[in-house]
């Protein structure tokens, strides 16, 4: 289930300047808000069949970058200036039961900050809306809202990042979707089925700094693109609701329906 949050920019609190790389901080906001409703959060997960071990985080969600209607972009300084009074943010959760009421109740009127030690912006949630899901079919076209991250360990134990046009990319995507299906339904997806993943046009590389300014800082490589995908309906829905590829709960692989 996907939601659109309309956020008011409180420029009086800390200003209106964000770091260019802010998507990891978005993830921290989501986890913090979920944790604040700990009892409701636990009940919601249990109702949807998630039996999480102590300390293990729920990760079946993805989200878009902030949609900033007017801004100044300063590449060399590493930040952007928000000029509009409001921004929009899409967050998508895989569970279905009680999700609309739970998320709307938890996120309504929240006040939070996104940023780092150098630049931070405070936001207030004005509105939480449910977005209608696409009419799913077994062959569809999508466009990335945030970059697809596809990686695997090679024979040397090092991490390789895949371009979506590489043949191995399809295998990595399918494996991830099948694993999420198994976690959701407590059994593997039965039977043989056709699966295709075909990028349309150019794939634009984007490097995102995660945990900027800390000892754990690292750069993750992703790609923005349009693509056609053929898959069983359950996998198509899982991809749309929880993202495609890896590190979706850190802001990668959020997609919207797009024409070929």
* pLDDT score recorded for residue 64: 96
- Is 234 in contact with 121 (CB distance < 8 Å)? no
List per-residue pLDDT tens for the chain, 260 residues long: 999 999 999 999 999 999 998 988 999 999 899 888 877 887 887 787 776 554 556 788 999 999 999 999 998 888 999 999 999 999 999 888 888 989 999 999 999 999 988 899 999 999 999 999 999 999 999 999 999 999 888 878 788 899 999 989 999 999 999 999 988 888 999 888 999 999 999 999 998 888 776 777 788 899 999 999 999 999 999 999 999 999 999 999 999 998 75
User: Could you give the dihedral angle defined by the CA atoms of residues 71, 240, 230 and 160, in that order, rounded to the nearest 10 degrees?
Assistant: 70
The CATH number of 2-131, from 3.40.720.10, 3.30.70.1890, 3.40.109.10, 3.20.20.20, is 3.30.70.1890
139-257 maps to CATH 3.40.50.300: no
Cα(73)–Cα(79) distance, integer angstroms: 7
Residue ranges per domain, the chain? 2-131, 139-257
Segments in 59-215 forming alpha helices (H) = 99-107, 167-185
* pLDDT score recorded for residue 128: 96
Q: What DSSP string runs through 23-74?
A: HHHHHHHHHHHHHHTHHHHHHHHHHTT--PPTTPPP--EEEPPPEESSEEEE
* pLDDT score recorded for residue 14: 93
Instruction: Tell me how far CA of residue 214 lies from CA of 72, 106, 233, 248, in angstroms.
Output: 26, 29, 41, 21
Cα(43)–Cα(20) distance, integer angstroms: 36
Same fold for the pair 2-131 and 139-257? yes
- Is 64 in contact with 90 (CB distance < 8 Å)? yes
Cα(14)–Cα(64) distance, integer angstroms: 23
Report the candidate in 244, 234, 115 with the shortest Cα–Cα distance to residue 185.
234
The distance from CA 15 to its chain's CA centroid, rounded to whole angstroms, is: 26
- pTM of the complete model beyond 0.85: yes
């Amino acid at each position: 289930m996907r939601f659109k949050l309309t956020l008011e920019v409180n420029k009086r609190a800390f200003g209106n300047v964000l770091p260019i790389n802010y998507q990891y901080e978005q993830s921290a906001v989501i986890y913090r808000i979920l944790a604040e409703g700990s009892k409701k959060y636990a009940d919601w997960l249990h109702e949807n069949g998630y039996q999480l071990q102590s300390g293990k985080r729920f990760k079946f969600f993805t989200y878009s970058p902030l949609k900033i209607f007017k801004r100044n972009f300063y590449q060399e300084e590493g930040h952007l200036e928000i000029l509009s009074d409001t921004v929009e943010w899409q967050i998508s959760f895989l569970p279905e039961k009680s999700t609309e009421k739970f998320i709307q109740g938890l996120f309504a009127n929240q006040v939070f900050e996104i940023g780092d030690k150098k630049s931070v912006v405070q936001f207030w949630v004005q509105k939480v809306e449910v977005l209608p899901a696409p009419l799913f079919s077994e062959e569809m076209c999508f466009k990335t809202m945030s970059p697809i991250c596809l990686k695997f360990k090679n024979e040397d134990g090092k991490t390789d990042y895949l371009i979506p046009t590489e043949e191995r990319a399809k295998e990595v995507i399918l494996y991830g979707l099948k694993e999420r299906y198994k976690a959701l339904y407590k059994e593997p997806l039965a039977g043989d089925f056709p699966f295709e993943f075909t990028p349309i046009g150019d794939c634009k590389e984007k490097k995102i700094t995660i945990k900027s300014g800390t000892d754990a800082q690292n750069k993750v490589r992703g790609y923005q693109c349009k693509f056609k995908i053929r898959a069983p309906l359950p996998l198509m829905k899982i991809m749309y609701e929880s993202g495609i590829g890896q590190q979706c709960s850190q802001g990668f692989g959020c997609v919207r329906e797009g024409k070929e």
